[in-house]
Structure 1
């Protein structure tokens, strides 16, 4: 997986960098896979492509059914473009490019810098700093109403590998769930 990623602050501060970098990377990767006849590509979308006000828990059919969260709209639009690009290549060129939308990932090499971190590393950092400095409170952004799911990055790698193998043999992934 290759993408420019970051938390709310980074996405909101650098929208041009997020849309440009992600469109450039995924366009080059997807087209190179077509050009060099890659048999299967697994494109990672993002949970941020779900509508801002999707009912909870979110379902797959909610994708592209409403307005996006403004703070990460540029990143979300880039990821949507990658999904549509994969679908378009499949339709026009007969490729087998699959798109999945993983939940919030965490694991090794996470960024704990509060300017660029995702929710889990940011929470860990804020709680650590509060404890270290004896603070009575920790500032947490948002309303507290959105639900979040977290997945350890190694689990995503395992799930992605199984999904690719099953799809290679044209075995529907849903049959084993």
Structure 2
């Protein structure tokens, strides 16, 4: 890409897409194409085809997806597999047909087997059964990887696939019923502190280990790899270190300033025992994560505090306005 390249970001209002847009603008890329869901429904093949035929972007970051935590994945399996398959199929095919020079597909570390060797290497893909609580999302993302590889092999389409670990950061989803573990814990601990509670209940045993990457690091890695990587092999994007859920809860407790105790509800599912990515292939390209976990959690909590009343109680329009205001103030403005 050069500074004048036309770049389409699918999912520019999401956690990762907005960070990628902000990173590109910070680097001087000005010709960024975006569409809201109202303007372009990525589930509609004909609409997506028309968009690509009209706009003809040179580069595409495919960050649009239906995402959520264990509860959301387990509760809405049909939506998770259907919507993600449709989004990525429509975008990848239309991108190739319209002459896009390069596409970056964002997957997820949940593509790996539940009991994959740790840390998980890219070659562990499809070597064992998936974690049942998110297999619908994982199957869709695996299909996206294989579609990128198939289009590269048959049509010579330059498409790369990145597998990020657990992401977090400003603008995250803090809904307790369908968010990921880190933002859910931030909200739980904050509300417990505000209500004067003596304890916070965390799902599971606290023993599973997870790796967490700040979304601004993910955006930086995405742009770096779009510029410096062009192979069929997928690339893990993470920090190469993990913590237990119990340790994560302690990180969050300190950041929030909650002084009560943490209780683990062992009747709730743990999910995959461990999800640590091997980032050897990534570091070989000259990139590594820069934002420490404690610093990232404090930054995310500061964002939450500035927007907590609207996030918790406001209308969807209010939430979006607050989100855009916060992104603008942090240099990650969206259209």
Using the size of structure 2 for normalisation, the TM-score is 0.49
**Structure 2 unpaired stretches of 5+:** 1-62, 231-280, 288-335
Is structure 2 residue 73 aligned with structure 1 residue 11?
yes
Q: Distance in 2 between matches of 1:61 and 1:123?
A: 32
Summarize deviations over 1:138-173 as a string: whole Å, max 9, x none.
Answer: 2222333332111111211111111111136xxx96
**Residue 176 of structure 1: aligned partner:** 286
Larger Rg: 2
Q: Is residue 2 from structure 1 mapped to residue 64 from structure 2 by the alignment?
A: yes
Alignment partner of 1:131 is 2:241: no
CA distance in structure 1 between the aligned counterparts of 2:285 and 2:139, rounded to whole angstroms: 31
Q: Matches of residues 150-161 of structure 1 in structure 2 within 5 Å?
A: 150-161=212-223
* CA deviation vs aligned residue, 1:42-80 (integer Å, no higher than 9, x gap): 101101111112233333232222111111111110000
1:125 deviates by 1.2
Using the TM superposition, give the Cα deviation of residue 131 of structure 1 relative to its aligned residue in structure 2, in angstroms.
1.8
Aligned residues: 174
Structure 1 residues 110-150: Cα deviation after superposition (integer angstroms, max 9, x where no partner): 11111110111011111112222233322222333332111
Higher relative contact order (CA 8 A, sep 6+): 1
- 1:76 aligns with 138
Aligned positions of 1:55-94 closer than 5 A: 55-94=117-156
Correspondence for 1:107 among 169, 173, 183: 169
Contact in 1 for aligned 2:229/2:285 (Cα 8 Å): no
| Counterpart selection for 2:102 from 40, 55, 59 | 40
- The correspondence for 1:50, drawn from 101, 112, 123, is 112
Give the conservation status (yes or no) of the 8 Å contact 2:74–2:133: yes
Query: Are 1:29 and 2:139 an aligned pair?
Result: no
Cα deviation digits, residues 66-106 of structure 1 (max 9, x gap): 11111111111000000010011011111111011011111
Distance between the aligned counterparts of 1:106 and 1:78, measured in 2?
A: 22
SS of 1:101's partner is: strand
SS of 2:82's equivalent?
A: helix
Contact 1:57 / 1:147 at 8 angstroms: preserved in 2? Answer: no
Q: Which structure is higher in helix share?
A: 1
Q: Determine which structure has the larger strand proportion and give its number.
A: 2
* SS, match of residue 21 in structure 1: helix
Mapped partners of 2:98, 2:128: distance in 1: 36
Range with greater deviation from structure 2 (9-18 or 149-158): 149-158
1:143 and 2:253 matched? no
Assess if the C-alpha contact under 8 Å between 2:169 and 2:214 holds in 1.
yes
Q: Which residue of 1 aligns with 2:184?
A: 122
Deviation at 1:175, TM superposition (A): 4.8
